[in-house]
Amino acid sequence: MDFDQMMVAMRKLALQAGAVIMDVYESDTFEVKTKSDESPVTEADEKADALISAGLRAAFPDVPLVTEEQDETHSEMGDTFLIVDPLDGTKEFVHRRGDFTVNIAYVEKGVPLRGVVYAPARERLFYTDGSGQTVEETGPFDLDVPGALTPLSVSNSDNSALFVVASKSHRDQALEDYIAKYEVADSKSAGSSLKFCLIASGEADIYPRLGRTMEWDTAAGHAVLAGAGGKVVRFDDHTPLRYGKAAFENPHFIAYAPTVKLKPAS
């Protein structure tokens, strides 16, 4: 696989999808439909998905594609594939809160090796470069000419003063009880896969997730975090989170900088 070529394609598609999403986001009204799993979907999800899917299939016709918005792709089985969430954080989008992202990732042998996370409303773009190093690009986000790139690295965490980031929409008592096991200097709620990126950039130390997620929600953020030296493990036994699981459903997990001393699940 030519990873330099892959990241050029992924970056461009993420930016193009972000532009489509922002056109809808900045419109006066947009329709919100409900899918069979009760989650919301909008015109922005569908348009971004069509754009990204067409682009990836044209660029990488031999690599299986899994995307949230196309149920027929959810029967793909194997441990190597492209995986897309065209609009992660649809609830944030619907409520016009800004914490939504475009997620595109490449998984090989169960491991997310390359990924891009673009938060168009926040004007933040994170991706792994051809070598696997994670960078954050500074705008204006030209489609063909990357702007200034800052290599990212996770923080050297102070376990007596950790910065925790957690989901805006899924904070419950079980999560609060787990966070209480740590010495926390500050805690922030954030939506979508931005939480992985905040650890990758050193802005946070740990992100525990006890709610339901799917692989398309996490693969791109996982790749971005790994490329900055971070880890994502299962919540129950702290083994690495793998991809290509049945129905693409994740167990509870913890994303973190490796210097954080993880606490047991119970």
Joined together, the tokens standing for residue 211 give 């709610």
CA dihedral 129→7→245→257, nearest 10 degrees, is 20
Taking 70 as the threshold, does the pLDDT of residue 169 lie above it? Answer: no
Picking from 29-43, 79-93, 143-157, which range would have the lowest pLDDT averaged per residue?
29-43
Yes or no: say if 206 and 254 are a contact pair by the CB < 8 Å rule. Answer: yes
Angle at 132 between CA 130 and CA 133, to 5 degrees: 105
> What is the tens place of the pLDDT at every residue in 110-131?
999 999 999 999 999 999 999 9
Q: What is the pLDDT of residue 161?
A: 98
CB 231 within 8 A of CB 258: yes
Locate 5 and state its tokens. Answer: 């070529």
pTM, entire model: 0.96
Q: What is the pLDDT of residues 4-21, one digit of tens each?
A: 999 999 999 999 999 999
Q: Give the DSSP per-residue string, 134-170.
A: EEEEPSS--SSS---EEE-------TTSEEEEEESS-
Three-state DSSP class for residue 7 = helix
* Token couple for 11: 């970056």
Candidates 238, 263, 266, 252; CA nearest to 159 is 263
Return mean pLDDT, the chain: 94
Taking the C-alpha atoms of residue 118 and residue 14, their distance in angstroms, rounded to an integer, is 6
Helix, strand, coil in percent for the chain, rounding step 5 = 30, 30, 40
**Residue 227: what pLDDT?**
98
pLDDT value at residue 170:
65
d(CA 171, CA 210): 9
pLDDT at 130: 96
For residue range 69-99, list pLDDT tens digits in order. Answer: 998 999 877 899 999 999 998 888 888 889 9
Region 239-244: mean pLDDT is: 98
